[in-house]
Structure 1
């Protein structure tokens, strides 16, 4: 009996990297999948119950001076060698990565062995690794056509596929929260790591929304010691919530960071959003992400530095009083959606690393 092809998936760090990779992996049931990650990141919690996890010691190439870069450069060389040995020893047919710093040793190790390297970039502004290594990849899949100008001068094989999402986003079941079906629902989410700054603004504003009859589901993340400072029966505070699909479909509007995966989910569920980009994101890429939705009329954006709790409260109250505005934003969001993105990316992998014929 023929053995299935072996694929190494390199995805590490945040939900923005992990969830698209997990969505693609779930469709490749006729492949033997292994995972490349870092021992102290989110993948250590999410991956081992599904796929073998191989970890490397690598934390990127940060450093402002030549001396400060020596240690990460040495780390990179070690990560490259470890990954190359893993690919060679394990007889893998290729690598699929969703970007970030772990993509660099994965792509270069694969290409040094003549193996397929497939990269998916979800951000509108491609990351530094993507911009540098796109020409080395067999194919680069893009989450949005807004990325094309940034890579136009690279001699790379580019495909716009959208960004894969968790299955429950597309096929939501019932919402397992005791929220009445007719009340306005505001969803606050700061990404897989939470957003303490947004949490503080929401706690200052939430009394206005509750007084207007709205319910609020606030996903705070696990790093906010004041998460439960405000108590109200219509204010549901959770560190995280899974599955997100039913919650996004039920929400009348969302207050969100502007990570690429979150924005993809907002478009697929047609959820109007006020976007507050993370101000310290690399190269301010969340602002570039947000601008794609803003330009399409699917969201509005306000920099964190320009917000107070009172201003946030008033903006959301105005939105709740304008249901037609929310309906327009929802329709515009859905026009940006790519519902078959997971199948498109999986199809690229299948075309380059064909599965075994039954």
Structure 2
């Protein structure tokens, strides 16, 4: 009799911070049959179908005060729970893994109604509302930062760190960087996560001439929604909406200027890249500041509140750091202590233990 492979439904949707850790996990579960659950018109529709069957449902969060719109949202939630329940039964799935967010709600409820195990991964230092509510319903909540456990007193939490794609663990990958940057030149990488960061982009463009004068090159990943993305031209300036080989770029960088989404921070830490962090000020419950605080607590990054940061301050701090290679090197080393490089393996083992027990 041939054993049928374990079937796992991955519920992860929206941004790279939700999707990339789940993709990294899947790489460590080659013996599983995996399908994906997402929503239409989000990043998963671009990334997932290349590797896994993508199922979609229509679901959203309760963003506003209770009213007519909330009734529609509730109605859609009930419908999505029934859809996921049907998918789990017909697909004969043995468990669900989710990275939180709106899609976790119907996924957790549907799975529990069928008696299926659920593992939730929370990447942020301050767990989201969905995780705080549904965490106790799950068989295990894997946390990306140790500090997150204190916000989940009723859940079974396990520290696994946050998985990164395998290329970020390749210490020699910087050699694959295909951008025209001299080997001896200091490199500043600017990025705002998968959503971009227009306010940060404006500050950087104001500071850039002084950094060029100091010999630095800048790779500026602006995202796709910056109307002034191509307004600066300079031989030492490379402006792109996105760049596929982020692992090589971060390994090569002397300094990163970034938002502080959990996924981006984990990639910075695994690569040992020192950083200046400017948390997105409108992130839910200011969770990006909580993430950044994990790094400043071990002197791995500098943190600036966007509303307080001027171009002159940013300009001078970057020049100071470029003149202090030992400080940059130590910041990079410090960043490595807040993550586990074998996170994907630890999370995969947790999934196996929960689903196969």
TM-score greater than 0.5 by the shorter chain: yes
Task: State the distance in 2 between where 1:230 and 1:311 align.
Answer: 20
Query: After the TM superposition, which residues 109-188 of structure 1 pair with which residues of structure 2 at under 5 Å, given as runs?
Result: 109-152=110-153, 154=154, 156-171=155-170, 172-173=172-173, 174=175, 175-188=177-190
Task: State the distance in 1 between where 2:319 and 2:264 align.
Answer: 23
Query: After the TM superposition, which residues 278-293 of structure 1 pair with which residues of structure 2 at under 5 Å, given as runs?
Result: 278-293=280-295
- Once the two structures are TM-superposed, the CA of residue 71 in structure 1 deviates from its matched residue by 1.3
Q: Write the deviation string for residues 201-231 of structure 1: whole angstroms up to 9, x where unpaired.
A: 1111111100110000111111112111101
Task: State the distance in 2 between where 1:38 and 1:65 align.
Answer: 23
Task: State the distance in 1 between where 2:64 and 2:195 align.
Answer: 23
Q: Give the alignment's TM-score, normalised by structure 2.
A: 0.97
- Once the two structures are TM-superposed, the CA of residue 42 in structure 1 deviates from its matched residue by 0.3
Instruction: Confirm whether residue 7 of structure 1 aligns to residue 3 of structure 2.
Output: no
SS in 1 for 2:167: helix
Which residues of structure 2 form unaligned runs of 5+?
none
Alignment check: 8 A CA contact 1:219 1:240 kept: yes
Query: After the TM superposition, which residues 93-108 of structure 1 pair with which residues of structure 2 at under 5 Å, given as runs?
Result: 93-108=94-109
Q: Write the deviation string for residues 115-173 of structure 1: whole angstroms up to 9, x where unpaired.
A: 01000000000000100011100111000111011112x1x211000000011111152
Match of 2:274 in 1: 272
- Once the two structures are TM-superposed, the CA of residue 308 in structure 1 deviates from its matched residue by 2.2
Aligned residues: 353
Q: What is the alpha-carbon root mean square deviation over aligned residues?
A: 1.2
Q: Write the deviation string for residues 186-214 of structure 1: whole angstroms up to 9, x where unpaired.
A: 01010011111111111111111001100
SS in 1 for 2:223: coil
Alignment check: 8 A CA contact 2:186 2:253 kept: yes
SS in 2 for 1:187: strand
Task: State the distance in 2 between where 1:150 and 1:53 align.
Answer: 32
Which residues of structure 1 form unaligned runs of 5+?
none
- Once the two structures are TM-superposed, the CA of residue 269 in structure 1 deviates from its matched residue by 1.0
Match of 2:52 in 1: 51
Alignment check: 8 A CA contact 1:93 1:115 kept: yes
SS in 1 for 2:69: helix
User: Which of residues 312, 315, 318 in structure 1 aligns to 2:314?
Assistant: 312
Q: Write the deviation string for residues 71-118 of structure 1: whole angstroms up to 9, x where unpaired.
A: 111111111111111001111001000111101111111011000100
SS in 2 for 1:353: helix
Match of 2:242 in 1: 240
